[in-house]
Structure 1
Amino acid sequence: MFGKVRAWSRRHEKLAGAFRVAPLAVLCLIIAVPYSSLGPPGSDAFLSLGGYLALSATLLVPLTWRDRPLVAFAVISLISFGQWLADFAPMPANLAVLIALWTVAYRCSIRWALAAGLVAELGTFLALVQWNTVTPGMFFSGSIFVVTVWLTGLYANTRRRYLEGLEERAERAERERDQQARMAAAAERARIARELHDVVAHNVSVMVVQADGAGFAMDSDPEQARLAVRNISKTGRAALAEMRRLVGVLRENESGATDYTPQPGLGQLEELVNGSAVPALLRIGGVPGELPEGQQLTVYRIVQEALTNALKHGGPGVRAIVEIDYGSELVVRVTDDGRGAAAPASADGHGLIGMRERVGMYGGAMSAGPRQGGGFEVLATLPVVRAA
């Protein structure tokens, strides 16, 4: 119940401020007529009914400034002090000082709450002076109300901060849960990628065996050859359907849409290097040949990850050189002149692991580490697999 009221007051701050002032305003109206003729003992000062209502409204209106508690308390205190200087008797609307004190203790720091409490204590003393009743007992009695209101506001402030801390921890836990879900989804995509490889390898192997069998049986047993061809067609269609399903899952982005954009390859390396945030130079040696799309994507990702690492850990002004050498083996070397061994270690980086997995998938080797004399080097060697 309290939580619902608190949530409603957050959504309707101005209306909640009006409800907070309403009981005191009603009290002022009830005793307006009899009070307007009263004044402090021994004083001839009094307020007319209109002056009483105007002063009461002036004291109560600042209580609606919920988002400016210090300003509201200062205004109410100054008005009350002016009332004391004019020798007008305290009125029910002066209780607004205590309400404003509670708001300061509830919403502000302990320093401002202490200052507001001292001001309220001073107001209590001045009121007793005005009524010629300054005694230790009377001052102690009046201080009890001030201290009680002040401590209640501090307690509410502590409870509010505690609840806000709980909400913050709940939000953090929710973010961590979403992050864990994304990590689990990434692991599942990796598993599906391995499954895709297994599906392709299995079905293609079956198709090759059946195609060889159909070739041998074509002359001696045409019916058996036709059966093998039909099996090849059936296996190929099943493999194609499975590939489409798995690739659709792998390429599904965060919004749930499916991306059919072609994967980058060696033809996009120059664009990658020139568009990198790290100033980089591309050098190509040897005669480029036709490589499978998967191997081209591996080279592209190695260069991309190496440039990203240079940007993250190389420091200001880092430069990089990307070298691609075509020969009996495909050599990819990315070097930079950054901090090298002096770069801070990254606890959440998985780029090098991913590069090693990509290179290992094609039977290659990769090394990465600081260079002598400074900088960092990523070196990958891949056997050349010509595209069919």
Structure 2
Amino acid sequence: MIRPISRTWLVLDIVGAVLGLLITLPLSVGVLASTSSSWIADARFEIAHHIVVAVVMWGAAAIARLSPPIALAVAWVGAVVQMAGGMWPSPANTAVFVVLFATAAWGSRRLLWLGGASALGGGVIAGLYVALLERDVLIVDNTYPVRVVAFGALVSTVVLLSLAMSWGAGLLWRVVLHGRATRMAQLQAEAVAAEEQERVRIARDMHDIVAHSLAVVIAQSDGARYAAAAQPELAQEALTTIAQTARAALSDVRMLLTQLRHRQGDGPQPTLADLESLFAQVRGAGVEPRVTIDPMPSGEPPGAIQLAVYRILQEALTNALRHGDGDVDVRLSWWPDRVEIHVANRVAASTPAPGGHGLVGMRERAQLVGGALSAQREAGWFVVRATLPIDAVR
């Protein structure tokens, strides 16, 4: 019954209704003085009647935005009071247009159709009412019924069209508001989806960085512990590698947290030039990556492809460090339209297959650039295969 609206709109509606009352009420009295021969004798009643009807009508217009159903009911009360006193249609009746507009623009679906029915019924009733008021003028011969019907139909048509136009304008505004709301909901949904994608991306990067770095640190720590007694210089090298790996991981994590906090750009991302550093970290952790690149890339691959290749190799080598048994074979094949990745490492029969977020992250990396990735055991080996289309991201 009561819509939540701002105080500004309520004040504007009330001020507009007051101005409408101040403009139309003198016009109504002026029309009365020029058309009625008996208004001087009944001046007090006539003027009071016009004032009451005008106040009720414009009162309904004042609350039309706040409560369309109450405004429609009050407008009908004003119309009944007007017809009960035999009052002619007056300029104050223009307030009905505001009410019908409000019922169509801001009312419920049921009130929308009640407003349309009111426009239709109001037009018919107004035609019959005016015809009855003019019955003395229309009685000139035996064609009285025909004249009444024709005159009433004409008035009904004019009034109905006027009321329907105001109701139709409100309906059009309703469509505009609905379109705006739909667009806002769409923009909000897109923003939520974009934020979720960003969170997933950062979580994926965080996993790749932290998991790989911790795998290297753990492997180096184990080696340093065993080498500390017999070969202290090897322990020193392992500690140096641990420190370098930890610093690099800390820098990458800080960059990701900065992106998460301030929503800045992606910042510098790994490229093919960083693969040698990645292989060196794995080599320093005690696992030798046997790398084969055939054929070589013919040019500079897109940045998204370079990042996907780096992250997939990073995760695959991390799994080899954590779950593998011995060295790991890495093969990259740069074809004109695609790059193929093949990473294989031996696994013991009792070793559980890698899983969890790592494999999911690798598959997502491949899918983001339109590629595909598979990871499975094959006769004592754990094999990761990926195919990434190059042309799709140019």
Given the two structures, how large is their TM-score scaled by the length of structure 2? 0.50
Q: 1:10 to 1:120 in 2, by over 3 A?
A: farther
- Offset of 1:69 from its aligned partner? 0.4
Paired with 2:127 and 2:37, the residues of 1 have a C-alpha distance of 16
Select the residue among 113, 127, 130 that pairs with 1:128: 130
Q: What amino acid maps onto 1:173 in structure 2?
A: E
Aligned with 2:356: secondary structure?
helix
Listed one character per residue, the Cα deviations across residues 100-122 of structure 1 (whole Å, up to 9, x for unaligned) are 01111222324223222234324
**What's 2:114 paired with?**
112
Are positions 1:24 and 2:20 aligned together?
yes
- Offset of 1:355 from its aligned partner? 8.2
**What's 2:178 paired with?**
161
- Offset of 1:164 from its aligned partner? 1.7
Paired with 2:246 and 2:207, the residues of 1 have a C-alpha distance of 19
Are positions 1:85 and 2:102 aligned together?
no
Select the residue among 55, 62, 68 that pairs with 1:57: 55
Q: 1:138 to 1:61 in 2, by over 3 A?
A: closer
Select the residue among 186, 192, 207 that pairs with 1:175: 192
Tell me, yes or no, if the aligned pair for 1:40 and 1:130 is still in contact at 8 Å. no
Q: How many residues align?
A: 247
Listed one character per residue, the Cα deviations across residues 254-281 of structure 1 (whole Å, up to 9, x for unaligned) are 889xxxxxxxxxxxxxxxxxxxxxxxxx
Tell me, yes or no, if the aligned pair for 2:72 and 2:100 is still in contact at 8 Å. yes
**Greater relative contact order (Cα < 8 A, sep 6+):** 2
Give structure 2 stretches of 5+ with no counterpart: 136-147, 263-349, 361-394
Q: How does 1:37-48 map to 2 (within 5 A)?
A: 37=33, 46=43, 47=45
Q: 1:50 to 1:117 in 2, by over 3 A?
A: closer
Aligned with 2:86: secondary structure?
coil
- Offset of 1:74 from its aligned partner? 0.9
Q: How does 1:348-387 map to 2 (within 5 A)?
A: 354=356
Listed one character per residue, the Cα deviations across residues 321-379 of structure 1 (whole Å, up to 9, x for unaligned) are xxxxxxxx999xxxxxxxxxxxxxxxxxxxx9638979xxxxxxxxxxxxxxxxxxxxx
Tell me, yes or no, if the aligned pair for 1:105 and 1:112 is still in contact at 8 Å. no
- Offset of 1:75 from its aligned partner? 0.8
Select the residue among 230, 235, 242 that pairs with 1:215: 230
Q: 1:195 to 1:246 in 2, by over 3 A?
A: farther
Paired with 2:22 and 2:58, the residues of 1 have a C-alpha distance of 11
Tell me, yes or no, if the aligned pair for 1:101 and 1:120 is still in contact at 8 Å. no
Q: 1:203 to 1:247 in 2, by over 3 A?
A: farther
Tell me, yes or no, if the aligned pair for 2:49 and 2:85 is still in contact at 8 Å. no
Tell me, yes or no, if the aligned pair for 1:73 and 1:101 is still in contact at 8 Å. yes
**What's 1:184 paired with?**
201
Q: How does 1:327-338 map to 2 (within 5 A)?
A: none
Q: What amino acid maps onto 1:188 in structure 2?
A: D
**What's 2:273 paired with?**
none
Tell me, yes or no, if the aligned pair for 1:56 and 1:93 is still in contact at 8 Å. yes
Listed one character per residue, the Cα deviations across residues 210-248 of structure 1 (whole Å, up to 9, x for unaligned) are x45x835x8xxxxxx5xx676565445445545656677
- Offset of 1:89 from its aligned partner? 3.2
Tell me, yes or no, if the aligned pair for 1:45 and 1:88 is still in contact at 8 Å. no
Tell me, yes or no, if the aligned pair for 1:21 and 1:63 is still in contact at 8 Å. yes
- Offset of 1:131 from its aligned partner? 3.5
Paired with 1:355 and 1:204, the residues of 2 have a C-alpha distance of 24
- Offset of 1:24 from its aligned partner? 1.8
Given the two structures, how large is their TM-score scaled by the length of structure 1? 0.51
Q: What amino acid maps onto 2:17 in structure 1?
A: V
Are positions 1:151 and 2:168 aligned together?
yes
Q: What amino acid maps onto 1:91 in structure 2?
A: S
Tell me, yes or no, if the aligned pair for 2:221 and 2:238 is still in contact at 8 Å. no
Tell me, yes or no, if the aligned pair for 1:104 and 1:113 is still in contact at 8 Å. yes
